[in-house]
Structures are given as structure tokens and as C-alpha cells.
Amino acid sequence: MSPPAPARREERDSFGPIDVPADALWGAQTERSLRFFAIGTQRMPMAIVHALAQVKRAAALVNAELGRLDAAKADAIARAAAEVAAGSFDEHFPLLVWQTGSGTQTNMNVNEVLANLASRALGGEIGPGRLVHPNDEVNLGQSSNDVFPTAMHVAAALQARPLLDAVTRLRALLHARAEAWAGVVKVGRTHLQDATPVTLGQEFSGYEAQLGLADAALRQALPGVCALAIGGTAVGTGFSTHPEFGRRVAQRLAQDLGEPFVVARNAFAAMAGHEALVLLHGTLKTLAVALAKIAGDIRLMGSGPRAGFAELRLPANEPGSSMMPGKVNPTQVEALTMVCAQVLGHDAAIGFAASQGQLELNVYKPLIALDVLDSLRLLADATASFAEHCVEGLQPDEARMQALLGRSLMRVTALVPHLGYDRAAAIAHDAQARGLTLREAALAAGVDGEHFDTWVDARRMLGPA
């Protein structure tokens, strides 16, 4: 015998009746989206759902203040929204990203769930006989066209917090290592060839400065993300809502969530374009570029342990090979640089999607939301992991650095002020050709040994003469 079919109930919307699972908190429009947009496996990010719930909570309370919504219903909606925002009902938001470009179906998914929860809290039922209407009351004074981009911005602003914390932590670690290793002299390298000496601390000070530029750019972009489209309704005019609605919702969101949310100066721009998120993600791309450079350098300096640079000893977190015992690989670097590659790809997709707004609405919103939030989460996690499991445990191999420095021919640059470029170059070429040290080649060319030792002092080559 086949198992009995799951219980269903009938829901209705303006297109007529449709069956939904009996225990589902969603309604007809969510069910239609499930049936007509079975595309891929990527669900709408829960960060968007939770942000929408925060917006619905603020909207219900503001509508009650403005006398547009019954106080008891507003309170029930607000309480339900707080539970949804806390993640208590995530299983009732099954819609995929690849749906309508305005996010309408996810907005309605949230409206339907909140209407059913609020109805149940008021002593009513879920389904067609619910006491709270998803459109007329939960969505009062709103349109998907202003609510969904508002949720995108709220979610992005909140998701930026862990990334800012992770970047701050990594910068502090890099700064500490720059100071601790200020006296560790090593071979500098340009074009992956030997160059004049540097200290390990100088290199790490550069990494901290690179990260600092990206960090500053990210922080400068966030105020634009905190400008919300709420109150614009369908096309940006604010038709069908109270003139104070948008401002009050933004103010309440700012109070509740601790971010400086305000209404966008121009609702038409906030709905038809997404330049604020493009700018934000541009800073994430900059951060990814800086992180990839830093991680790549650490990978090179940690290469070995016998046949590479071997200047840094990487933390041995886990076995590096299923075949070669004792192998330690730069796995944190690999994870971080893969994340950076993903972020660069997201940036291309976001730029194209944001350029495709037509007239009063951009209809690539779910894609933009997915990729912005994915980049924020990936960079936050990968940066924190790289700091904790790689940078914090790095150890310099000073003996190895001294050995490589002693063999470097580019210390010959210190002879140029005394011998001239051409004679110094001849000494370097002779040393390389005959396998001599730079000192041996210089003495063979007639340079006094005491003078050589005075002139070719790596520590005197670490800054201006």
C-alpha cells in the first residue's frame, strides 16, 4: 500500500482556489510560486526573510500609530513578525531565489505567514477564514517594489557587522606582527626575483595598510545602504500610503536594529536602481583583492618546508594529504582565495543586474540580494577563519631568512654608490655565473673586504640612505 497523501487545505487569491499543505503557514501566492518557479535549489536567503519581517513589524506598529490599522491586529502582526525575524518559522519560507525580479512572491510569502500567525494569536484559524488579511493589513501602505529593496538594504547593513568585526580582528593581528617582526630582515622580492632587503615587519605593515584601505571604503559605503526605499510604494510616488509612513518605519527600524536607517532622498532612484549596493559590493571586491594578495604572499613565504621559500611556518591544523604523511598545506589560504574568487564573480553579476533596471523598477532584485549577502557572509567567515587558524599561528623561520639573505645577489645595489652601476652589475653577474657569494665575487674584482662589509649591510638598506 502506498502511504496516504499528505493532508491539504484550499486557499484562495485573486486567481482563484489552490491547494496547499494543511500544516503550511503560507497561502495561495506562495504555493503558486512553488509550482511555477521550480528553478534550481537556492532558497531566498533567510536574511532577506528576517529583514522583511523586521520591516513588517515596524510597518504594523506605524500603521497603528497613524490610525490606519486596528491596534490589536497591529500588535498580533508585530509579535508574529518578531518571531519570524528570530528564525522561529524558517521552514515556512520555501521559495527559491529565481522568481519574479521584484521579490513579490517572497514578500507575499512573508505576508501570508504573518497573517496566519497573527490570526491564530487572535483566536482565529489559518487559511481562508483567517482574521488578518495578508494584503490589506500585513502589507498595508506597502508594495513589494519598495518593501523588498528596503529588506535588501536592512539585511546587507546587518550582515556587514560580522565582516567589519572580522576585518578589524585581522588588521589588529597584522599590525601586531608588523611590530613584532620589525627587526626580522629578509630578502625582498619583485617579479618573484630577489630584490633589496626588507623586514618581515615591513611586509606585514603593507598588508595591514592594504586591508585598511578596503576597510575604510566599506565603512564609507554603509551609510548609503542605510537609505531605504520604504514609503515609495509601487513606483516611487508614495501613492496609497500615509505621507509619514516611510519616515516613521525607517526611524523605528533604526531604533530597533541599531543602524542609522533613514528614508532614501529619492524613492525613484531607490527602486529603479541599486547603486548603493553596487557601491557596497565594489568595496567587497576591493577587500577580496587585498585579501587574495595577502593570502597569496603568505602561501609563497610558507612554501616548502624543504624545497620552497620556507620563511614562514604555517600552523599545522590538519593532515595535508591522503597519500603523503606529514604534509602540511596552506588550506586556510586556499579557502580564503576561493572565497575571493567567488566575490569577484558576484561583483560582475551584481554590476550587470543593477544596470538592467527599466523605467521605474529594477527587476533583478533577488539576484542582487543573493550575491551581496553571500559575499558579506563568505568574506566574514573566511576572514575570521584566516585570522584565527592561519595568521595567529604564523611563525617566522629567522635562520632560513638569514640563509637566503646571505645568498642574495641583490645586496649588490649597496655597491652602486661606491663602484657605479656597471661595475656592480659585473660583480653580480660573475657571482651568479661562477656560483660565488657576492662577497667572494666583489673581492675577486678588487673590492676591499672591510669596505664591502661596511657598504653591504642589509640593515642599512631598509630605508633611505
* Residues placed in the known binding site for substrate: 102-104, 133-136, 143-145, 190, 322, 327-329
Q: Specify the pairing of strand 312-313 against strand 262-263.
A: unpaired
Residues in the annotated binding site: 102-104, 133-136, 143-145, 190, 322, 327-329
Q: What are phi and psi for residue 445, nearest 5 degrees?
A: -90, 5
Q: Is 191 left (phi over 0), alpha (psi -120 to 50) or beta?
A: left
DSSP codes joined into one string, 311-334: -EEPP--S---SSSTT----HHHH
Buried b (16+ CB within 10 A) or exposed e, 199-220: bbbbbbbbbbebbeebbebbee
Who's near 261: CB < 8 A, 6+ residues apart?
153, 154, 157, 226, 227, 228, 250, 251, 253, 254
164 CA to centre of own chain = 9
Q: Clarify whether 321 is annotated catalytic.
A: yes
7 with 22: CB under 8 angstroms? Answer: yes
277 with 372: CB under 8 angstroms? Answer: yes
Query: Which amino acid belongs to residue 269?
Result: A
Q: What are phi and psi for residue 92, nearest 5 degrees?
A: -95, 15
Who's near 192: CB < 8 A, 6+ residues apart?
none
Who's near 421: CB < 8 A, 6+ residues apart?
none
321, 355, 429, 451: the active-site residue: 321
575570521: which residue's cell? 384
Neighbours of 146 (CB within 10 A): 28
490589506: which residue's cell? 136
Q: What are phi and psi for residue 312, nearest 5 degrees?
A: -120, 140
Supply 42's cell numbers: 537556492
Catalytic residues: 191, 321
